[in-house]
Amino acid sequence: MPDTIIVGGGWAGLAAAVELSRSQHSVLLLEASEQLGGRARSLDLHGLRLDNGQHLMIGAYHELLSLLKTVGCSEAATFHRLPLKLLMRSPSGHEDYQLVPPHLPAPLHLLVGLLQASGLSWRERRRALRLCLMLAIGRTNSQEDQPVATLLQRHGQSATLIRKLWQPLCLATLNTAVEQASAHVFVRVLRDSFAHHRQDSDLLIPKMDLGALLPEPAKRFIEHHRGEVKLRQRVSSLLVENGRAVGVTLPNGREYQAAHIILALPPYACRQLLIPHHQLQEIATRLEQIDYAPITTIYLRYAPSTRLSYPMMGLLDTTAQWIFDRGYSDQAGLMAVVISGHGPHNAWRKDRLTAQVQEEVARCFPHWPVPEDSMLIREKRATLLCSPAINRLRPNMRTPIAGCWLAGDYTRRDYPAVLEGAVRSGLACAQAIHSTRW
């Protein structure tokens, strides 16, 4: 019998399994699908190995980098690390805005970068600089959360600043528009990225697909440490005896038992396992109230010589918001065009949306050839809707039932639903179990 069963093979479940295995706990990881990775996985489409969505990773993801090192993946072999540049292009075909922080200690690199930013008036740069300085020293804290838009209006940020700077940053980090996004979470992310070390804002571009980045090395690590990973194992119920979680069952009636059970599932899937147990009803009710935000990724395949001057670029006044050059991930000529959050595009047919995005990209980059192929991937519940209400709905990793734990990016309060949040959650859960007396 394993010490711990982990239900779910996303990045939170993998982080928990690796950490427990490293601490010499025996683990059994059960994943319902045919592959590991959850919402950050790879798939085969049109003869290409594609990520199911473009994930932004930065130098502030310390726990993710540490986890990769644990499973034997050095940063140099795994990522291109590049100083962050915020380059925005409009359909006119020109770079409408540039923020290029210089090589200075944090937060000076951001402050000087703002002073030198092109595409903004001197007054706009000064207002953005003042707000960034206040964010860095923590003077915008308030007891009650508020939308990011309210915070920006209180500090005199113009419509141009919001359009060119704050809205793109908010969508990229929270997958939520400024009108809905939590100011507390947004400020936390900005501080982690820009206020401590200059390298924290670096862009980390994977040299491989998401499946090869963590899921495959993590599986090898777990199995090397006498753990077990089972795919196509959908858990249908949580077993509880005398107020303690003792195991799980599968639809075919098979049971697995362990001293600890980690439910590393999305909130909507986790809720189904919690509902039958009255001690967990309050958590299940909160999970039911969580809203989600979609991410749409349109892959456009061009001639291999088609490149961006930097791995990613923002798009202004278009349906799409970001374009990533997958040539940096060894897929020359492939562009990932990303649309974050809600919008009219979510109701459009795939062919209409693909045509719209292709036309926008053609106007932004008129010298590019016509794409040879296109692929569209929609993740309808890609992330939590990171609104001011979200933190009161997010549960703790400990539940009222002994031995039952929750892991996932949705449990990390004051942090958005990103890969770093998922990894931190899984590691914290494993460390808490390791410190528990058996």
pLDDT in tens, the chain (438 residues): 899 999 999 999 999 999 999 999 999 999 999 999 998 888 887 788 888 888 889 999 999 999 999 999 999 999 999 999 999 999 987 778 888 888 888 888 888 888 888 888 999 999 999 998 887 766 655 668 899 999 999 999 999 999 999 999 999 999 999 999 999 999 999 998 888 899 999 999 999 999 999 999 999 999 999 999 999 999 999 999 999 999 999 999 999 999 999 999 999 999 999 999 999 999 999 999 999 999 999 999 999 999 999 999 999 999 999 999 999 999 999 999 999 999 999 999 999 999 999 999 999 999 999 999 999 999 999 999 999 989 899 999 999 999 999 999 999 767 888 999 999 999 999 999 998 754
**Do 104 and 197 reside in the same domain of the chain?**
yes
The rounded distance, in Å, linking the Cα atoms of 219 and 362 is 41
Of 201, 230, 250, which closes a domain? 201
Number of domains in the chain: 3
Residue with tokens 């979680």: 245
The rounded distance, in Å, linking the Cα atoms of 98 and 165 is 10
**Do 308 and 277 reside in the same domain of the chain?**
no
Residue with tokens 């303690």: 244
State the CB neighbour count (10 A cutoff) for residue 351. 10
Distant-in-sequence, close-in-space partners of 154: CB < 8 Å, separation ≥ 6: none
Here the CATH number for the domain that contains residue 281 is: 3.50.50.60
| Residue 133: predicted pLDDT | 83
Residue 88 in any domain: the answer is no
The rounded distance, in Å, linking the Cα atoms of 122 and 377 is 40
Which is it for strands 322-325 and 228-230: parallel, antiparallel or unpaired?
unpaired
Residue 213 in any domain: the answer is yes
**Do 184 and 216 reside in the same domain of the chain?**
no
Residue 360 in any domain: the answer is yes
**Do 275 and 415 reside in the same domain of the chain?**
yes
| Residue 291: predicted pLDDT | 95
Which structural domain, as residue segments, surrounds residue 33?
4-48+55-75+207-290+388-435
**Do 60 and 180 reside in the same domain of the chain?**
no
Here the CATH number for the domain that contains residue 338 is: 3.90.660.10
What are residue 327's phi and psi, to 5 degrees?
A: -60, -30
**Do 304 and 372 reside in the same domain of the chain?**
yes
Locate 313 and state its tokens: 């670029």
Of 162, 179, 201, which closes a domain? 201
- Give the CA distances from residue 147 to residues 136, 150, 230, 329, 344, in Å, rounded to whole numbers and listed in that order: 19, 5, 42, 35, 21
**Do 222 and 365 reside in the same domain of the chain?**
no
**Do 171 and 193 reside in the same domain of the chain?**
yes
